[in-house]
Amino acid sequence: MILIVDSGSTKSDWIAVDNNGNKLLEKIRTKGLNPAILSEKKLYKLIRKSKDLKNNSDKVTHVFFYGAGCGTENPRMMLKEVLEDVFPNAKVEVNEDTLAAVYATINHPKEAAVVCIMGTGSNCSYYDGENLHQRVKSLGYTLMDDASGNYYGKQLIRDYYFNNMPENVKIAFGSKYNMEPDYIKYNLYKQPNPNAYLANFAEFMFLHKDSEYTINLIKKGIRLFATNMIMQYKEELKTVPVHFAGSIAYFSQKEIKEVAEEMGFKVGNFERRPIDGLVGFHTKDL
């Protein structure tokens, strides 16, 4: 049994297949397994909470894990050791989520492209057809993650409290979410995964895209992301497209294309859920 995992900070999708890519179990979903945020103990607990994973742990021969928080060595190795312990007969590979986005969005295995993730978090890399190049190391949601779900959640909450929302938008936002200060602070400072908590607010934008305020908010985040991340690859952008993965990107396609026209880069493919493109990639050589 081969397990292929696409993990953000909010959720992790697991697909179990045989060597020919045939699905062996229904898609398994656990909470997000971000090793840069969660402790080793918490990672064990979240994985073992799934009965399907627990009951089939000895049958697993390969684990291909792609996740947020896996771009630096220490968190990546900690998660690898956890997975090797949970699946004792498996060969385990742990890679950053950007690589999953690459394999899911490129048109052929040797295609060069700049590939962006815009989901709960955000990131951007250049794939030269063989290797991944990342010019900015992610420092996480507190300092980076422009145009991500947690970025937009933060902006929406700030605009609500600073009275920077149009009145009708503010009323709608306040009726959809619990905006009590103590409740918000409890989730931000006392609960695990505050980035995922913030990202939950981003859905509001896509339910209210008839508002000029919302459109401007979306585009402001995309411009920041393009300036700080995509434009790290100015030379490469002259010849390669920019592909996007993640729900925020998927639902912001129009705004991304408008910003791309402003800033002079070519938009390629959009993939909401990268995991669907990973099965063929990992089973073709087994």
Q: For 219-249, what is each residue's pLDDT tens digit?
A: 999 999 999 999 999 999 999 999 999 999 9
In a domain, 152, yes or no: no
In a domain, 72, yes or no: yes
- Annotate 164-232 with DSSP letters as a single string: -S-HHHHHHHHHHS---HHHHHHHHHTSS-HHHHHHGGGHHHHH-TTSHHHHHHHHHHHHHHHHHTGGG
Residue 286 clears pLDDT 60, i.e. is over it: no
In a domain, 21, yes or no: yes
DSSP assignment letter at 129? S
What is the number of structural domains in the chain? 1
Rounded Cα distance between 4 and 274, Å, is 11
Percent of the chain with pLDDT over 70: 99
Q: pTM score > 0.85 for this model? A: no
- The pLDDT tens digits for 41-100 are 999 999 999 999 999 999 999 999 999 889 889 999 999 999 999 999 999 999 988 888
Residue 280 clears pLDDT 80, i.e. is over it: no
Tell me the average pLDDT of the chain: 93
In a domain, 259, yes or no: no
CA Rg value for the chain = 19
- Asked if 273 and 13 count as a contact pair (C-beta separation under 8 A), the reply is yes
CATH number at residue 54: 3.30.420.40
In a domain, 51, yes or no: yes
- The pLDDT tens digits for 179-193 are 999 999 999 999 988
How far is Cα of residue 90 from the mean position of the Cα atoms in its chain? Answer: 25
- Name every residue whose Cβ is closer than 8 Å to that of residue 285 and which is 6 or more positions away in sequence: none
Rounded Cα distance between 61 and 13, Å, is 18
Tokens at 145, concatenated: 């993650």
Q: What is the pLDDT of residue 275?
A: 80
In a domain, 150, yes or no: no
- Domain range for 60 is 2-97+275-283
In a domain, 15, yes or no: yes
Percent of the chain with pLDDT over 90: 80
In a domain, 270, yes or no: no
Rounded Cα distance between 54 and 20, Å, is 23
